[in-house]
Amino acid sequence: MVDKIFPAEFARLILKHISIGNLYEIRVRLNQAIVFNVKNELVFLSSAGITKNINDGIVASRELIAKIIYIACENSVYAVNNQLREGFITVKNGIRIGVAGEVVYENDNVMTLKNITYLNIRLPHKVDNCSARIFHYLIDKPFKNTLIISSPGLGKTTILRDIIYQIYKNNYALNSLILDERYEIAGSCEGQAQFNLGAFTDIISGCKKQFGFEMGIRSMNPDVIFTDEIATFDDIKAIDYAMASGVSVVATTHSRNLNELLKKPNFTELLTNKTFKRFIVLSKNKGIGTIDGLYDENYKLLYRD
């Protein structure tokens, strides 16, 4: 997986000392030691191995950052410019590289990023059956509208991915449509999912949610739509459209807990109307992906790890 991101010699060093299954995130900052999130512990890497001493960590050069970007975009920055304008590059296998640098504007429109000097590399993980213990709370006719809530990096996309797989594993013949705006859920490459998401699943990748919901409902006639990271008013409008069309929705959003979610103005109408019938709140209390609470539309606790 890291060979899709780093130059060969550096990739070999990572693989020698760090298990990819335990590696969640890599922070690359110009002229600073590269930071590795290994099982939620921040460490550094030297030629001799893992270290907690920042002064021994390998420092990111401008050349290394440039190489990472060119490897990630397969030597064509132009080909991924639409993603760069959104602040990320998606690599095969659902790896997402967040980027930061100088924003280039033209007539108040973001055209691209230049002098990229900060990278946040997030490695996806498929954790089989991580949603199995709560799946029976979600399945119904129709599938219960569900919102998965947590701070970044606590497993929202991982549990969303497994819910999709549980539909197939438990032989519920529900036509499932994934709207994968950032290529993270399915990790599609050349139109084919890199994760096993079952036989009842269709995927639309790389499009804005509002267009994806409208096109997907018209063309694919789904029973349930799965999507990641809803936040904007347009996202909420798209969900309203789906539900008015008789299509269930399972989505994720960034929020630390239900109380914080209730304060978000874009969500007021959805919450007041009890549109979502299930809320899954994740934390790291017992490790990343802990189900801190599964609640119904009245915020009654149904399950907790």
Amino acid in position 121: I
Residues 188 and 84 in one domain: no
CATH number of the domain encompassing residue 36 = 3.30.450
Residues 290 and 155 in one domain: yes
Residue 202 domain-assigned?
A: yes
Residues 282 and 148 in one domain: yes
Which residues of 39-180 form beta strands (DSSP E)? 41-46, 49-51, 88-91, 95-106, 109-122, 146-150, 176-180
pLDDT at 109: 84
Total domains, the chain: 2
pLDDT at 157: 94
Which residues of 145-289 form beta strands (DSSP E)? 146-150, 176-180, 201-205, 224-227, 248-254, 278-283
The token pair that represents 222 in the structure block: 């789904």
Residues 51 and 172 in one domain: no
Residues 296 and 215 in one domain: yes
227 and 179 Cβ atoms separated by less than 8 Å: yes
pLDDT at 81: 84
Residue 242 domain-assigned?
A: yes
Alpha-carbon span 247 to 225, nearest angstrom: 7
Mean pLDDT by runs of 10 across the 305 residues of the chain is: 87 94 94 95 95 97 94 82 85 85 88 92 89 95 94 92 95 94 83 86 91 94 96 91 95 95 91 95 91 97 97
Residues 290 and 174 in one domain: yes
pLDDT at 37: 95
pLDDT at 166: 95
Residue 129 domain-assigned?
A: no
Residue 165 domain-assigned?
A: yes
In three-state secondary structure terms, 263 is: coil
Residues 108 and 240 in one domain: no
pLDDT at 73: 86
Residue 259 domain-assigned?
A: yes
Residues 149 and 106 in one domain: no
Closest among 201, 146, 145 to 173, alpha carbons compared: 201
Alpha-carbon span 241 to 243, nearest angstrom: 6
Phi-psi region of 123 (alpha: psi -120 to 50; beta: other; left: phi over 0): beta
CATH number of the domain encompassing residue 195 = 3.40.50.300
Single pTM value for the model? 0.86
Residues 117 and 264 in one domain: no
Residue 225 domain-assigned?
A: yes
Taking residue 78's Cβ as centre, other Cβ atoms within 10 Å add up to 9
- Which residues span the domain enclosing 256? 135-303
Residue 257 domain-assigned?
A: yes
Residues 197 and 294 in one domain: yes
Residue 127 domain-assigned?
A: no
pLDDT at 53: 97
